[in-house]
Amino acid sequence: MHTRNNPLDYNQPVLTIAELPEYIRRAEKLMSAAERLEEIERQVLVIDALAVESALAGFRSGQTPFIAVLEAHRVLYEDQRQHAELLFHILWHSALLDALGMERQTS
C-alpha cells in the first residue's frame, strides 16, 4: 500500500498487461500529433509567413490586389489555429498518459 511518505512502490508495475494496449494507443496518438505539429511548425507556418510577406510586397508595389493580402493572412491565421488545436491535443494526450500511469501507482 502507498503512503504519503512513500508514494511509489517500485515492486509494483506501473501498468498491467491489460492496461498496456490503451497506453500504447494513446502513446501512438501522441506521437502522431507531435509529428504533425513539427511539420506545421517547420513547413506550413513558414510558407504561410512568406506568402503574407509576398502578398504585402506585391500590394505595396501595385502588382497584387489587397484581397491577396487578406487571403494570405486568412490562411496564416487558420494554420496558426490548427497548430494551437494540435498543441492542445498533444498536451491532452500527454496528461492522459500521465494519469493512466499515476492511476495505477496510487491504487
Position 79 in a domain: yes
Asked if residue 17 has pLDDT above 90, the reply is no
Q: What percent of the chain has pLDDT over 70?
A: 79
Position 2 in a domain: no
pLDDT for 7 = 55
As a whole number, mean pLDDT of residues 50-63 equals: 98
Position 84 in a domain: yes
Q: 9 in helix, strand or coil?
A: coil
Q: Count the domains in the chain.
A: 1
Position 71 in a domain: yes
Write out the residue range of the structural domain in which residue 54 sits: 20-106
Average per-residue pLDDT for the chain: 84
Q: What angle do CA 97, 98, 101 make, to 5 degrees?
A: 90
As a whole number, mean pLDDT of residues 96-100 equals: 78
Position 81 in a domain: yes
